[in-house]
Amino acid sequence: MTLSRTARLIACVLLISGSGAVYAQKIKELASIGGVRSNQLIGYGLVVGLDGSGDQTTQTPFTVQSVVNMLTQLGVNMPPGTNLQLKNVAAVTVTASLPAFSRPGQNIDVTVSSIGNAKSLRGGTLLMSPLKGADGQIYAVAQGNLVVAGAGASAAGSSTTVNQLAVGRIPNGATVEREVPGGVGQGDFITLSLNDADFSTASKVAQAVNTGMGATTARALDARTIQVKAPQDPDARVSFMAKLENLTVTPSDVTAKVIINARTGSVVMNKAVTLEPCAISHGNLTVTISAKNEVSQPNALSGGKTKPVQNATVDIKAEKGGVTAVPKSASLNEVVRALNQIGATPQDLLAILQAMKSAGALQAELEVI
């Protein structure tokens, strides 16, 4: 049987996401260590040097106010009543992620996003902008030239844009000024937090740690948390952590799940999905409305006026959907083959899968995002 382009695409995505068995994984791939986390930073700044694509100051007064405040701090006093007409400046937000164990002097990447009506940040330079954490403290300072992965051009009322021009990045654009307190160097215990809560996996991780690091070293507190006893000496603790995170564990079988994106029509399922025998009938109803514009021309000397006339044609086409028998499927390949036989588009599969779940034929958790 020859599969359609849509069916081949669905089959390819499903096979990639769900083929193979459950393999052993390192603990650092299954869990994170309590206290080892990144922190989000945010700041406000100005991008200058734009080629006339900055904020329209009449609609973004905060841009002019920011420029005046900056010039005042630099010792430039503006005459009262000065009306600045700026086209090469844009107000932006600056965001970054501060990795764990970052130290003063290290560099991190930053993302710069326009908050005004600037057309493009391409070619701009971010002026010194402090980045603050959730506690209001400054943890980094950003500055540098933007890299914008896009292009655009406009002339005579026409414009063309490739990718997003209002967002750019500065690699290594921020310097860390303050380190985040914390870490894994205090206390008698460290905590492992599983990425996915599962009692079976938590029990297996605790058993693997006790086997590799000594009995009674670890115990599972719940479906996500494993408490591990660690040495007090910092050097010994680092060596202990290095050995711990490389222990291998075979996680429990994944939960059968189907993910449906209602906006894009994407359908992805894992290898644990199975089907019970069922029958499916699927048909399409198509309504087509076409308009034909004509001109009514009166006869000569009739005194009438030429008027436009619009004629609409409505066509309703209902395709009969036959009943398709779907056999019991125990493997992902069989599930894909059964769904392809229906001949439905990805958008149609959204309704079909939901109906199969309601009928008890789809043995999987259905999640719509």
pLDDT tens by residue, 205-253: 999 999 999 888 999 999 999 999 999 888 888 889 999 999 999 887 7
**Does 286 reside within a domain?**
yes
| Claim to verify: residue 61 and residue 79 sit in the same structural domain | yes
> Highest mean pLDDT: which of 23-37, 150-164, 292-306?
23-37
| Claim to verify: residue 228 and residue 114 sit in the same structural domain | no
| Claim to verify: residue 170 and residue 194 sit in the same structural domain | no
| Claim to verify: residue 148 and residue 221 sit in the same structural domain | no
CB neighbour list of residue 97: distance below 8 Å, 6 or more residues apart:
38, 39, 40, 41, 108
Q: What is the mean pLDDT of residues 27-46?
A: 91
**Does 33 reside within a domain?**
no
| Claim to verify: residue 213 and residue 276 sit in the same structural domain | no
Of 227, 249, 271, the last residue of a domain is 249
Of 143, 176, 209, the last residue of a domain is 176
Residue 316 CA from chain centroid, whole number? 40
| Claim to verify: residue 118 and residue 191 sit in the same structural domain | no
**Does 59 reside within a domain?**
yes
Confidence of residue 15 (pLDDT cuts 50, 70, 90): very low
| Claim to verify: residue 59 and residue 155 sit in the same structural domain | yes
Of 176, 211, 229, the last residue of a domain is 176
**Does 118 reside within a domain?**
yes
**Does 331 reside within a domain?**
yes
Higher pLDDT residue, 303 or 285?
303
**Does 25 reside within a domain?**
no
Confidence of residue 5 (pLDDT cuts 50, 70, 90): very low
pLDDT the model gives residue 298 = 72
Tens of pLDDT along 97-142?
Answer: 999 889 999 999 999 999 988 988 999 999 999 999 999 999 999 9
Higher pLDDT residue, 186 or 36?
36
Partners of residue 368 on adjacent β-strands: 260
| Claim to verify: residue 133 and residue 207 sit in the same structural domain | no
| Claim to verify: residue 227 and residue 268 sit in the same structural domain | no
**Does 302 reside within a domain?**
no
Closest CA to 195 of 37, 39, 364: 37
Q: Which domain holds residue 232?
A: 187-249
Angle subtended at Cα 136 by Cα 135 and Cα 138, rounded to the nearest 5 degrees: 115
| Claim to verify: residue 162 and residue 51 sit in the same structural domain | yes
**Does 46 reside within a domain?**
yes
CATH number of the domain that residue 218 is part of: 3.30.70
pLDDT the model gives residue 6 = 46
**Domain count for the chain:** 3
Rounded to 10°, the helix 332-342/346-358 angle is: 110
DSSP 263: T
- pLDDT of 70 higher than 80: yes
CA–CA dist 144, 87 (Å, integer): 20
| Claim to verify: residue 157 and residue 273 sit in the same structural domain | no
- pLDDT of 153 higher than 80: no
Partners of residue 160 on adjacent β-strands: 153
